[in-house]
Amino acid sequence: MDPSELNRAHWDALAAVHGQDAYYDAEALVSGRDSLNEYESAAVGDVTGLDVLHLQCHIGFDSISLARRGARVTGADFSPRSLAAAAELAERAGVSVDWVEANAMDLPSALHGRFDVVYSTAGVLGWIADIDAWMRSVHAALKPGGRLVLVEIHPIFVMIASLDPLVLDFPYAFDGGRAFDEPGSYADPDADVAATKTVEFGHSLGEVVTAAIDAGLRVDALLEHMDTVRDWRGMLTPEDDGRCRLRVGGEILPQSYTLRASR
């Protein structure tokens, strides 16, 4: 099966179980909780009155939160079941969002030149076979002067399967697709996910930044974050201050990064 079809089936299956767990607290979202973390909020800034494309929106938590912040939001994803779940959540929350089924590496012309902000976050690039095409799509979707806000899991962190003992199970940089077949979900390891086979892709920090530049974007900032409030891989224990830190050999390694770029 084509990797994109395999991954679409997986994300359709995830959409069927997400929102029924503590990671995706649908009831809290509907009741008004904002889903953006501190790094996402700082990077996106004030979106009042702006046209925002939430790229790879999954079930739309951040789409809904951005709309509540005053943006005109379009959520785009390749998973129809994710978009259906997102639309249902938005209706329950009383929030207006446009939903578009689209390939993030080849956005339809109807989305070109329309957005002040393209926003994408936390675990998106690992599903992208062609990072250059993804950045070209971002560039095409932005208005002149528009900006990309990408808050992503750091490729160093993605490499690590276990800290004790230290085990690496994923490449730092692109080397083609890696096939996986793992039960459960990142949101709930015990979830009964109907389609578990995936093909995922590594992208180094240098590859991501270079792809943005080659697509015609101006890099405005690249920030690496050394602590977080949420451990995306379930390996870390919050420290006394409530923050999670990736400690290897006595040193702290980055867990996530923010890339801000503009057209």
How does pLDDT run across 24-72, given as a tens digit for each residue? 889 999 999 999 999 999 999 999 999 999 999 999 999 999 999 999 9
Q: Where are the beta strands (DSSP E) in 9-62?
A: 51-55
| Mean of all residue pLDDT scores within the chain | 95
Q: For 217-257, what is each residue's pLDDT tens digit? A: 999 999 999 999 877 777 898 999 999 999 998 899 999 99
Sign of the CA dihedral running 216, 220, 224, 229: negative
Tell me the CA distances in angstroms from 230 to 12, 39, 54, 96, one per residue in order.
Answer: 24, 12, 21, 28
Please tell me the distance from the alpha carbon of residue 75 to that of residue 73, in angstroms, as a whole number: 6
pTM of model > 0.75: yes
**Cis geometry, peptide bond prior to residue 183 (ω within 30 degrees of 0):** no
CATH number assigned to the domain covering 3-262: 3.40.50.150
- Which tokens belong to 249? 């050999």
Please tell me the distance from the alpha carbon of residue 255 to that of residue 102, in angstroms, as a whole number: 29
What does the pLDDT read at residue 102?
A: 97
Please tell me the distance from the alpha carbon of residue 114 to that of residue 118, in angstroms, as a whole number: 10
Q: How confident is the model at residue 213 (pLDDT cuts 50, 70, 90)?
A: very high
Which residues on neighbouring strands pair with residue 77, listed in sequence order? 101
Share of the chain above pLDDT 90, in %: 84
Contact 135, 142 (CB under 8 A): no
Please tell me the distance from the alpha carbon of residue 92 to that of residue 168, in angstroms, as a whole number: 41
SS3 (DSSP) at 129? coil
